[in-house]
Structures are given as structure tokens and as C-alpha cells.
């Protein structure tokens, strides 16, 4: 049986930082891991045939990359979980994962599209 929190996360809307994220291919992933004095940063380069974007995620939590390498094709999903209320669970504001468990998953405190890209 699915909990209410899990249902809210599963049904969270697509994040506005990259509408149609599932149409983008991941080109590069850079992780800047810190010792706890500053938030960890993950930069994700993605593209379609007509668009390129660099996304910067800060405050990375629970990073999971299956097998240590990204699969050749990923249907990226970026969700805005900031409105998932819970009095008993802490839910970070951004959830990243692939449709049907693509092998890349993490949570982040924030995400922004890097200007100029």
C-alpha cells in the first residue's frame, strides 16, 4: 500500500525549469561534492536536436547512478515537490529521476537553468 507522502511525490508536477524534460538527452553530468560547508552541486548538460540546457542543482541528496554510469538513453523527469506537504517527513523541493527507473535519481534543494545556455 502506497503512503500518502509517496503518492504526493509520485503525482508532483513537472518542474518549470525545463518543460518537456523527458525529450532531452543527458550529455554530461558533473558532481561537485563538498565536505558539508557548502551545498553539493550537480550540473547536468542536456539537449534535444533544437535546444541545449545546462541545469545546476544545489543541495544534492540521495544521488543514485545505476552501475556508476549513465544509460545511453534516459527519459529524464524533473518534479517540483515543494508543494508536497508532510508534517512527518522532510521532502526536498526538487526530485529528479527517470521514467520507469532509468538509473539516475536524486533530490535537490534547488535547480536553475544556467544563463547563456
Residue 98 pLDDT: 60
**Between 111 and 7, residue with greater pLDDT:** 111
**pLDDT above 90 covers what percent of the chain?**
38
Residue 50 pLDDT: 94
Query: pLDDT, tens digit, for every residue of 13-63?
Result: 999 999 999 899 888 889 988 776 777 899 999 999 999 999 999 999 888
**Residue found under cell 504526493:** 8
pTM over 0.75: yes
Contact in structure between 3 and 18 (CB atoms under 8 Å): no
2 pLDDT more than 60: no
Q: Residue 32 contacts by C-beta under 8 Å, 6 or more apart in sequence? A: 40, 41, 42, 43
Helix residue ranges, H only, 1-117: 4-10
Amino acid at each position: 500500500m502506497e503512503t500518502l507522502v509517496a503518492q504526493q511525490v509520485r503525482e508532483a508536477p513537472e518542474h518549470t525549469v525545463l518543460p518537456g524534460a523527458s525529450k532531452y538527452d543527458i550529455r554530461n553530468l558533473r558532481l561537485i561534492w563538498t565536505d558539508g560547508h557548502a551545498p553539493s552541486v550537480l550540473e547536468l548538460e542536456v539537449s534535444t536536436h533544437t535546444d541545449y540546457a545546462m541545469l545546476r542543482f544545489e543541495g544534492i541528496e540521495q544521488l543514485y547512478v545505476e552501475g556508476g554510469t549513465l544509460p545511453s538513453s534516459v527519459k529524464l523527469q524533473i518534479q517540483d515537490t515543494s508543494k508536497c506537504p508532510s508534517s512527518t517527513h522532510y521532502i526536498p523541493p526538487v526530485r529528479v529521476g527517470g521514467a520507469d527507473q532509468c538509473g539516475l535519481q536524486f533530490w535537490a534543494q534547488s535547480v536553475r537553468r544556467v544563463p547563456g545556455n
